[in-house]
Chains A and B, each alone.
Chain A
């Protein structure tokens, strides 16, 4: 448990440094949903190379690192209905809100953006309520 928060702090620091690199060099905000969403709906066609390169790094580097440490585990639920419903909600919600944990959370809060702070309050609140309802009341997750 004690090791968990240290790893959290170190890993979080790397995430923040990634965002800082992208901002200071490329002048852009590191938001996962915006970067991939712009490729999927065509709104980010003009700078697709940059988006594709970021996604490639985001997939390939942890793949190699996970292999190096002998594999990792997501412990994702095996309930297909929940997986599909959750995926759709995350996809639609992040695009409607124009950001997710990285864009609104990390990059928004760090510049004291009101939108980032409000968005984070709502997605954490909704996530907490979802745990109450689906775990403690219905017992499906």
Chain B
């Protein structure tokens, strides 16, 4: 049953990405390109997504999920080095291609060879990260 809900979640998510235009890399890059022909669409997508999600978080207070034991733990307040460095690297890649993980998957069927190559490189990066993290922590110990 949880898998069925997961499939529906992915489906709604993907449909939203397609409808909103977020699988079109020019719309994402257009939003990041403040000094070019700025495209405000992404802000509306973010706003449109955050509103139902904020209501859902409110709804979790004092309740339990339908098919799970508990809701996720409260967010960790600590801002670590990995959060800052990781987000910066991610943003650079996001700007270069105009794709992030959700849209890279949602556009798989119509993204052509380029989309497949992007996904393969992204998965390779994800596979390499645990090893990189260990080396990085050894080279520059966290303070």
Contacts and interface: CB of A to CB of B under 8 A. Distances in A.
Interface of A: 4-5, 7-30, 32-33, 36-37, 40-41, 43, 49-63, 65-67, 71-78, 80, 82-98, 100-102, 104-111, 113-116, 118-120, 122-132, 134-136, 141
Interface string B75-104: 111110011111111111111111111111
Given A7-B19, A21-B12, A83-B121, 20 more contacts: A14-B16, A19-B9, A19-B49, A26-B2, A26-B65, A41-B130, A53-B4, A53-B7, A59-B10, A61-B11, A62-B17, A63-B110, A73-B110, A77-B25, A87-B121, A92-B125, A93-B125, A105-B46, A123-B90, A127-B94
Given A8-B20, A33-B126, A115-B79, A28 B68 contact: yes
A22 to B, nearest CB: 4
Contacts of A11: 15-22, 45, 48
Residue of A21, A52, A86 ringed by the most chain B CB atoms within 10 A: A86
Contacts of B2: 25-26, 49-50
27 contacts: A5-B40, A8-B20, A11-B20, A15-B13, A15-B49, A21-B9, A23-B71, A24-B59, A25-B2, A25-B67, A40-B123, A62-B15, A62-B109, A63-B110, A71-B110, A74-B107, A84-B117, A84-B121, A86-B93, A87-B93, A90-B93, A91-B127, A102-B13, A110-B57, A111-B75, A115-B79, A123-B88
Contacts of B78: 115
Contacts of B88: 93, 122-123, 125-126
B82 A97 contact: yes
Nearest to B27: A4
Contacts, number: 487
A36 to B, nearest CB: 6
A140 B29 CA distance: 13
Interface residues of B, number: 116
Q: Interface residues of B: mostly helix, strand, loop or mixed?
A: helix
Contact of B42 (A8, A74, A116): A8
B141 interface: no
Residue of B40, B83, B96, B110 ringed by the most chain A CB atoms within 10 A: B96
A5 B129 contact: no
